[in-house]
């Protein structure tokens, strides 16, 4: 079997702490458990990458607005935000781990993710 390795797939996860990154890719989807729409951002630099899901829900909107604001895109009531505006933006993130209980298996899972966004 031949397995193609695409650009960036050979990178490891970023170390915990502050990282200067570029947003290189965005995927869209819905959560497996409740069907809540999300977009997943790939934050990347020379050392590695981390992906983070942003859920389009009342609880998730403050993080979405913060991400756009830190990327230099102003959020305005009544106007849609376009995730395409984030591609290529540079910012500083804080990388860390978050644990939660999986609703289906009831097992504890730990994710590495961006936990803070700062102007780069």
Residue 19 lies in a domain: yes
Residue 7 lies in a domain: no
Residue 6 lies in a domain: no
Kindly report the CATH number assigned to the domain that includes residue 17: 2.40.50
Q: 40 lies in which domain range?
A: 12-119
Q: Which of 73, 21, 83 is nearest to 46 (CA)?
A: 21
Distances (CA, A) of 101 to 4, 32, 104: 34, 14, 9
- Name the residue with higher pLDDT: 25 or 98: 25
Cut 0.75: pTM above it = yes
Residue 3 lies in a domain: no
Kindly indicate the confidence band of residue 57, based on its pLDDT and cuts at 50, 70 and 90: very high
Strands (E), 31-64: 37-44, 48-55
Taking the CB of residue 68, how many other CB atoms lie within 10 A of it?
20
Half-sphere exposure (CA, 13 Å, Cβ side) for 40? 10
């Amino acid at each position: 079997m031949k397995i193609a390795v695409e650009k960036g797939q050979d990178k490891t996860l970023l170390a915990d702490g502050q990282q200067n990154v570029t947003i290189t890719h965005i995927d869209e989807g819905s959560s497996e458990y409740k069907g809540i729409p999300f977009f997943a951002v790939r934050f990347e630099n020379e050392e590695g990458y981390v992906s983070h899901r942003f859920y389009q829900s009342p609880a998730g909107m403050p993080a979405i607005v913060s991400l756009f604001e830190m990327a230099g895109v102003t959020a305005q009531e009544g106007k849609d935000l376009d995730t395409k505006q984030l591609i290529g933006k540079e910012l500083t993130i804080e990388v860390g781990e978050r644990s939660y209980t999986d609703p289906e298996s009831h097992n504890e899972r730990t994710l590495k993710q961006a936990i803070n966004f700062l102007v780069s």
